[in-house]
Structure 1
């Protein structure tokens, strides 16, 4: 049977989400907890890779197990996992071939920025004490939905075979004393969300910022993008799958 784990985690505590030998990554911790609890070697496969420092409210991992899992599995896994990872939900896939990465319809990310110094937000959002024109930011954000090729916003030395992505949502919103960028797409390139944020901030106060942003997109030159914003302001907020493909077998929600 194929199962899906929905997990949340504090990215500051791990060397990214993807398995890297014995380094403390999210996937390493998930595999270890599953193997310990189920008493057989378990290998999980992630829906979305997050870099070191990037947080997740809802990332997914699928794995196979011959036996039937029960709701109390969530409680037992949370007891085994490090404090900075929590299982949010456990699902059974109706299709035993369903893949967390390839069958996801979309991923949604949120990037958080704050402008007044706050020691409790350090490591949880980007400190940017400079004025930003939110109306212009929303203009540049909306422009992204007009494009499919995002080579400009992909780091070099990537293993991807295509730079095409379909962006479903792209907007900025003010949230109390924070400014958030929300973007949802069918897929993302390596470093793409941070580059989208950094580049929009970079052009925000320049003359003709929207036209400039378009020219950067169309250049397909990653040297014109700004990848410098920190990862700890970034949250993988949700991974979405087709309706009625996963059966929730949890009785516990974080």
Structure 2
């Protein structure tokens, strides 16, 4: 049975996350509803990864197995979706490619604004404390020295290990925001928000860079700061091998 990748982007403000949940409206539930209306039969999607309630994505993926010839022209499907969710592309992939397990890396950005801006109210965290970007980048550089990020995984996470290979970690300015940009082969539950919240403590002088390093080495999630709200976080890109697509 042919397998298709469905690429989506969304503003997650009004949704209970990416993956389907009982008694909740999620990105997956509205996409599946649109597909069912258009194709007149249910199609069950498999997610590339989870994003929490309120988190946004510039790129995320589902895969679906179906004998239906899915229409690559997505205009009609998008007409059935809410304005804050869009299907960007549908493409057939090789049968053994998995939206989650075939991903080689994921990239996130967390946006912070220090000024009141009504246009960023739902897509950036207003953080009014003075911040030292050099200290923030010193903390970001520390991440390359470690693989075990137990301290930045929320409790009750069912994973075999807490190891992540960090490929990119930096604080930059972008679109009038201070942005943490991070890329890794995988992320733990709550990891980006925990990293941001803890680094911000260093950036405002509450803890030192050495303290930040100690928090990583403690392998204790009670030491990190997970209070960072969801609405500043974007999944930017999911990277797959170049040869996943078929010629169909």
Is the 8 Å Cα contact of residues 89 and 248 (structure 1) preserved in structure 2?
A: no
1:52 alignment counterpart: 53
Q: Where does residue 79 of structure 2 map in the other structure?
A: 79
Q: Distance in 1 between matches of 2:175 and 2:67?
A: 48
Segments of 5+ residues of structure 1 without an aligned counterpart are: 250-254
Q: Write the mapping of 1:169-248 to structure 2, written as runs, cut at 5 A.
A: 169-206=168-205, 209-246=208-245
- The CA deviation at 1:91 is 1.3
Q: Distance in 2 between matches of 1:45 and 1:200?
A: 33
Aligned to 1:162: 161
How far the C-alpha of 1:248 sits from its partner, in A, is 8.9
Q: Which shows bigger deviation, 206-215 or 233-242?
A: 206-215
Find runs of 4+ consecutive structure 1 residues off by over 6 angstroms.
Answer: none
Q: How many residues align?
A: 247
Cα deviation, residue 215, structure 1: 0.4
Asked if structure 1 preserves the Cα contact closer than 8 Å seen for 2:139 and 2:209, the reply is: yes
Cross-structure match for 1:113? 112
State the distance in 2 between where 1:111 and 1:200 align: 12
2:65 aligns with: 64
The residue number in structure 1 matching 2:22 is: 21
Structure 2: any 5+ residue segments left out of the alignment?
none
- For residue 232 of structure 1, report the CA deviation from its aligned partner: 0.2
Q: Tell me: CA distance 1:33–1:21, structure 2 relative to 1, closer, same or farther (3 Å).
A: same
Tell me the alpha carbon deviations over residues 209-238 of structure 1, each in whole angstroms, 9 at most, x when there is no partner.
Answer: 221111000001111100001100000001
| Inter-partner Cα distance in structure 2 for 1:64 and 1:176 | 39
C-alpha contact 2:18 2:26 (8 A) present in aligned 1: yes
Deviation at 1:67, TM superposition (A): 2.5
Matched, 1:10 2:15: no
TM-score w.r.t. length of structure 2? 0.95
